[in-house]
Amino acid sequence: MTRSLLVAVMLVGLAVPAAQAQTGLFVGAHITGASLTYKDALHDLDPGSGIGVHAGLALSKSLGVLVNYDKITLGSSGGDTELEQWDLLGRLQMVGVGPVQAYLTAGVTGRSSIARFFDGSAGDFDFRGVNPTAGLTGQVMLTSKLAVDGGVMWTFGRFNDTQGYSLSRVEATGSRVFVGASYYLFGGR
């Protein structure tokens, strides 16, 4: 028993340095859950789920850039709303302990919301806008090239292009949670 425990500790000791925070180019995919709340709308949207892809460049252990695309379906009593979001984000490390890294993440999000029902009316509604986004993201390195990612982000602001609706601007706050995996193309630090 003691010998098995000693071997296990040695293996973990060898694996942890290989799984430290990495630098370089990474790509990945994730599943996401989201909500979108329109200010002053008659009906609320139910939270929904979807999928996404991401790519990034870790410039150092503490600084990086992340691009992201999500496609999410939100429900409501009048029918589903399709929400697409594109992010350009910077990441700044807050905490790093061995293979676990936590980041403050902020940037801009382009988003599009397409629905057949909005604010008590049926029609073809297509809302678009670019807004600020902020949140917390994290990464756990499993190997020198593979990581598990997760995070929570909020997007604030208005849809400035509101086709199918009488108002020229619609204010909406969105929130997202996601979990996925990233692969560092070249590994190494």
Per-residue pLDDT of the chain (189 residues; tens, 9 = 90+): 445 544 443 444 434 444 455 678 999 999 999 998 887 666 678 899 999 999 999 898 889 999 999 999 998 766 788 999 999 999 999 999 989 999 999 999 999 988 877 766 777 888 899 999 999 999 999 998 999 999 999 999 988 888 777 666 788 899 999 999 999 998 655
Residue with tokens 């061995």: 98
CA pair distance 48, 46, nearest whole angstrom: 6
pLDDT at position 171, please? 85
CA pair distance 113, 125, nearest whole angstrom: 8
Q: At CB < 8 A and 24+ separation, what contacts does 95-100 make?
A: 96/21, 96/61, 96/62, 98/16, 98/19, 98/20, 99/16, 99/19, 99/20, 99/21, 99/140, 99/141, 99/142, 100/138, 100/139, 100/140
CA pair distance 72, 86, nearest whole angstrom: 12
- For 127, phi and psi rounded to 5 degrees? -110, 135
**Exposed / middle / buried, residue 8 (Cβ in 10 Å: 0-12, 13-18, 19+):** exposed
Give this prediction's pTM.
Answer: 0.79
pLDDT at position 17, please? 43
pLDDT at position 10, please? 42
Architecture per CATH, domain 23-184, reads as Beta Barrel (2.40)
Q: Where are the domains of the chain?
A: 23-184
User: Strands 46-58, 24-38: parallel, antiparallel or unpaired by DSSP?
Assistant: antiparallel
Two structure tokens written together for 141: 């390195």
pLDDT at position 3, please? 52
Which positions ≥6 away from 48 have C-beta within 8 Å? 33, 34, 35, 72, 73, 74, 75, 80, 81, 83
pLDDT at position 167, please? 67
